[in-house]
Amino acid sequence: MNYTLHQLQIFLKITELKSITKASEALFLSQPAVSIQLKKFQDQFSIPLTEVVGRQLYVTDFGQEIAEAAEKILNEVQAINYKTLSYKGQVAGRLKISVVSTGKYVMPYFLSDFTNKHRGVDLNMDVTNKQSVVKSLEKNEVDFSLVSVVPDQLSLERVELMANKLYLVGGTKGKFNRNVSKKKIFENYPMLYRENGSATRNAMESFIASHHIDTPKRMELTSNEALKQAVIAGLGYSIMPIIGIKNELKNGDLQIIPYKDLPIVTTWNLVWQKSKNLSPTALAYLDFIKAEKARIIEENFAWYDQY
């Protein structure tokens, strides 16, 4: 056996993505280069690692076992690199964070200074829906999660980061009659919702229910970006977090429609399991957040105060 760490890395990525093309894109390598390394790796085993049925690549049972071993080897190599940097007095290690979809407009600003200062930190940030974020916390797959509504079924610690404001928003292409009660917007125009389980949808539904508003016309979209584009196009109105529509407000593509008891204000929270044994890297990040969050908010989110 004379395989290289590079070959292990390529093979592991292929097994994760089930595609040579996708693996080459993820590793920033050409497709022929990945194919060549896969063949060289396969040549060292008498049992097939992968097989192609139709045009789909499948990993054999043997290949899956080799992939699991490869992951352990690569993790050990990474641990050696982290220890080397730690002995030099540098913060080094893996930092894993899951973020609800709207949080992608928030979390990078609370990470960039930390990762730029500590080059030995490998960041893994998964932007997904609320249900997946909660599941990643339950399974202890991440160090931290960013949520606007703290799940009450888990025992969590948290640091409050900043306010999350949700407004009634419409596009600027169509004009509604300003002399008519704004409640008619909900009754006469389609209301656009995120998918079930979304914290934004829950906040919107709670507001509508508490104010006894009828919304006979409803549409559902499964991403914040799709919802935003639909509102811009004039498909309807929605209650949306302002954090994701800064540029659209500035460009005049969207408008905030003043409405009684809006905005809805929640809080972005960085949360983690109380029972979790945080790594030195995670502890260093927590110290950074507590010390720097006020500065980060002032430098990047002062525009909030305009609304």
pLDDT tens digit sequence for 92-105:
788 999 999 899 99
Q: 237 and 100, same structural domain?
A: no
Q: In the listed set 43, 59, 85, which residue is the last one of a domain according to the structure?
A: 85
Mean of the per-residue pLDDT values of the chain:
88
- CA 242-186-262 angle, 5° bins: 40
Q: 150 and 15, same structural domain?
A: no
Three-state DSSP class for 80? helix
Residue 107 is predicted with a pLDDT of 95
At position 186, the amino acid (one-letter code) is F
Q: 291 falls in which pLDDT band (50, 70, 90)? A: very high
* Alpha helices, H only, the chain: 5-17, 20-26, 31-42, 61-87, 112-117, 130-138, 183-188, 199-210, 224-233, 246-251, 280-300
Q: Tell me which of 81-95, 253-267, 292-306 is least confident.
A: 81-95
Q: In the listed set 85, 110, 140, which residue is the last one of a domain according to the structure?
A: 85
Nearest to 42, CA basis, from 17, 14, 78: 14
Report d(CA 161, CA 272) in Å as an integer: 14
Q: 233 and 105, same structural domain?
A: no
Give the CATH number of the domain where residue 36 resides.
Answer: 1.10.10.10
Rg (CA), the chain: 24
| φ, ψ at 229 (rounded to 5°) | -65, -35
Nearest to 246, CA basis, from 185, 178, 169, 174: 169
Give the CATH number of the domain where residue 125 resides.
Answer: 3.40.190.10
Nearest to 155, CA basis, from 134, 131, 127, 126: 134
What percent of the chain stands above pLDDT 90?
A: 55
Q: 177 and 204, same structural domain?
A: yes
Q: 152 and 275, same structural domain?
A: yes
| DSSP-assigned states of every residue in 206-222 | HHHHHTT----SEEE-S
Residue 167 is predicted with a pLDDT of 95
Residue 62's domain spans which residues? 5-85
* 215 or 285, which is more confident: 285
pLDDT tens digit sequence for 157-179:
999 999 999 999 999 876 555 55
Number of domains forming the structure of the chain: 3
At position 206, the amino acid (one-letter code) is S
Total-model pTM: 0.70
CB 143 within 8 A of CB 97: yes
Asked if the model's pLDDT at residue 274 lies above 70, the reply is yes
Nearest to 237, CA basis, from 282, 176, 293: 176
pLDDT tens digit sequence for 219-271:
898 888 899 999 999 899 999 999 999 999 999 999 999 998 999 999 999 99
Q: 247 and 116, same structural domain?
A: no
Average pLDDT, integer, range 274-291: 89
Average pLDDT, integer, range 284-304: 93
